[in-house]
Structure 1
Amino acid sequence: MSNYFIFLSFYRRWLYVLVSVVVSLGICVGSPQKSQAISWFDLLFQGVQILQLSNISDKEEVQLGKEINQQLVNSKIQLYSNKNVNRYVNQIGQKLAANSTRSDIPYKFQVVKDESVNAFATMGGYVYVTTGLLKAADNEAQLASVIAHEIGHIASRHAIEQMQQTAIARGVATATGLDRSTAVQIGVDLALRRPHSRQDEFEADRKGLRTLRRAGYAQSAMIAFMQKLLNQPSLPTFLSTHPATSDV
């Protein structure tokens, strides 16, 4: 008889746990759109892939950035193969990163084979500059100013904020967070589209200027390079939402 009560107590305890999980997950995934419904059974096995973007750790952000970078490199961009050029850009980038307001995460700087004048970044320390941008820069300080600006976006975690906003707008975010594979796809899209607000750009400039000074570069290089690019026939993508140079 005692074994029976022990079994019954054990059974009830786990039944309560299971019911609690079912109810909580049911609340989280409830949605008016049936096509987005996810069974609690699937979520139980996908739970480790759910990201809480509101309190994502540095380690999680770096790993997510790594996965976004893999997608970019594998199917969206072509990296420039010249080792000397890549080493040169990386040396500048690492010097700037060490003097940034967020120097406690690893950074990776890559050159994209693309004649357009462009630069972009994704979360977790990944920065990209195009061969077109390298040709447009008159000197190292001007190149450093763009890289410092992109580091400013990473330091401010702008990509995380944009991912949250995009997930909500697309209706793919739940109370538990965001599915990892969906987060990676959004991250790739954001990296290529660069939908930064003017406020984000201004903040990245402010932090970038501070990083330039601390790394030993002339802050005037940022304004000089922006003015040069603004005078070109077509506006570079990364300046499309940028404040006027007089506001920097």
Structure 2
Amino acid sequence: MFQQYFSFSNRFYRRLALGSITFIITVGIGLGNVQPSYAISWLELMIRGVQIVQISNISNAQEEEIGKGINQELISSGQVKLYRNSSINSYINEIGQQLAKTSQRPNIPYTFQVVDDNNINAFATMGGYVYVNKGLIATADNEAELASVIGHEIGHIAARHAIQKMRDRAISQGLLSAAGVDRNNAIQIGVELAVSRPNSRADELQADHLGLEDITKANYAPAGMLGFMQKLLSKGGSPPTFLSTHPATSDRLKILQQDINPQTANVGNGLDNQAYKNRIRSLYVN
């Protein structure tokens, strides 16, 4: 009986050992196939005890946490100077939250902030953070035009463009392992992307499409989107910052003109120029 037990045990342990070796080889191959050029192994990252973010499968909570870190770094480093005007900030937040509810991704918290900068610009980062320059607010003629820009930036968030860019940048910098990327590195990459804003033509067209859907659902007149785009193109000379970070504006305008029915372009809210000037009056006295 002991001999039978011994024979059974040998067979059992041999199978277990072969199974373990097969598992180790399979996992090794799998990890190697994820990204063979990654500089740091998952084991090394675990030993270092750093917080790792798997960008490809990032959760809403992780995205919000990284977005918060990016926002804090942008402000503390002085790369973004917030405009401390409660009336204007309240107005931008009012428009933004209304658009967030009708967006394609309403299930995350959104933060809308005004940047103390006279350049015509707006941008978005991960986790629902949208930044609008006071120069852009002053340039818009009405609320529908302003809403079109905010809707466009929400479109970037809805399409997770910043997450895709972060993954590409992490790979190019050799910072992405099979396990993911260090949270601190993710935040630093996010700050770099927020400053450079390297949006592709495809990203811009998609954000335009999503933004147009958003403002229409929120009952803003689609003409606002056309009006602001035409305003930017008519500037002439050195293009404003908004144009330099949002390429192919003329092509985008043509596509929007095709997507918007002229008969319904002015149907909706936000086209009252005087009402808009009244709402942003404090912008000119501070």
Question: Is the pair's TM-score, using the shorter chain for normalization, greater than 0.5?
Answer: yes
Instruction: List per-residue Cα deviations over 1:137-181 (Å, max 9, x = no partner).
Output: 111111110000000000000000000111111121111111111
1:31/1:37 contact within 8 Å kept: no
1:209 aligns with 2:212: yes
User: What does residue 8 of structure 1 align with?
Assistant: none
The 1:37/1:110 distance shift into structure 2, 3 A limit, reads same
1:152/1:204 contact within 8 Å kept: yes
1:242 Cα deviation from its structure 2 partner:
3.8
User: What does residue 100 of structure 1 align with?
Assistant: 103
Instruction: List per-residue Cα deviations over 1:99-138 (Å, max 9, x = no partner).
Output: 1111010000000000110000001100000011011011
User: What does residue 237 of structure 1 align with?
Assistant: 241
How is 1:124-163 mapped onto 2 (pairs within 5 angstroms)? 124-163=127-166
Instruction: List per-residue Cα deviations over 1:62-103 (Å, max 9, x = no partner).
Output: 111111111011111100001000000000000010111110
The 1:212/1:42 distance shift into structure 2, 3 A limit, reads closer
Secondary structure in 1 matching 2:72: helix
1:115/1:131 contact within 8 Å kept: yes
AA aligned opposite 2:238: S
Paired with 1:70 and 1:100, the residues of 2 have a C-alpha distance of 25
Paired with 2:153 and 2:44, the residues of 1 have a C-alpha distance of 41
Structure 2, unmatched stretches of 5+, are 1-19, 257-286
AA aligned opposite 1:158: H
1:93/1:144 contact within 8 Å kept: yes
1:247 aligns with 2:255: yes
1:198/1:243 contact within 8 Å kept: no
Paired with 1:145 and 1:32, the residues of 2 have a C-alpha distance of 41
The 1:64/1:93 distance shift into structure 2, 3 A limit, reads same
The 1:39/1:91 distance shift into structure 2, 3 A limit, reads closer
AA aligned opposite 2:104: T
1:40 Cα deviation from its structure 2 partner:
4.4
Paired with 2:45 and 2:96, the residues of 1 have a C-alpha distance of 42
1:166 aligns with 2:169: yes
Paired with 2:99 and 2:40, the residues of 1 have a C-alpha distance of 45
How is 1:178-193 mapped onto 2 (pairs within 5 angstroms)? 178-193=181-196
AA aligned opposite 1:247: I
1:149/1:205 contact within 8 Å kept: yes
2:233/2:249 contact within 8 Å kept: no
AA aligned opposite 2:184: S
1:120/1:150 contact within 8 Å kept: yes
The 1:156/1:42 distance shift into structure 2, 3 A limit, reads closer
Paired with 2:204 and 2:44, the residues of 1 have a C-alpha distance of 42
How is 1:1-248 mapped onto 2 (pairs within 5 angstroms)? 40=43, 43-47=46-50, 49-75=51-77, 76-232=79-235, 233-240=237-244, 241-244=247-250, 245-248=253-256
Instruction: List per-residue Cα deviations over 1:35-79 (Å, max 9, x = no partner).
Output: x657946632425x1111101011111111111111011111100
Secondary structure in 2 matching 1:124: helix
RMSD in angstroms over aligned alpha carbons?
Answer: 2.3
Provide the identity percentage: 51
Instruction: List per-residue Cα deviations over 1:206-246 (Å, max 9, x = no partner).
Output: 00001001111111111110111111133233333144211
Larger Rg: 2
Paired with 1:32 and 1:101, the residues of 2 have a C-alpha distance of 35
Structure 1, unmatched stretches of 5+, are 1-15
2:122/2:242 contact within 8 Å kept: yes
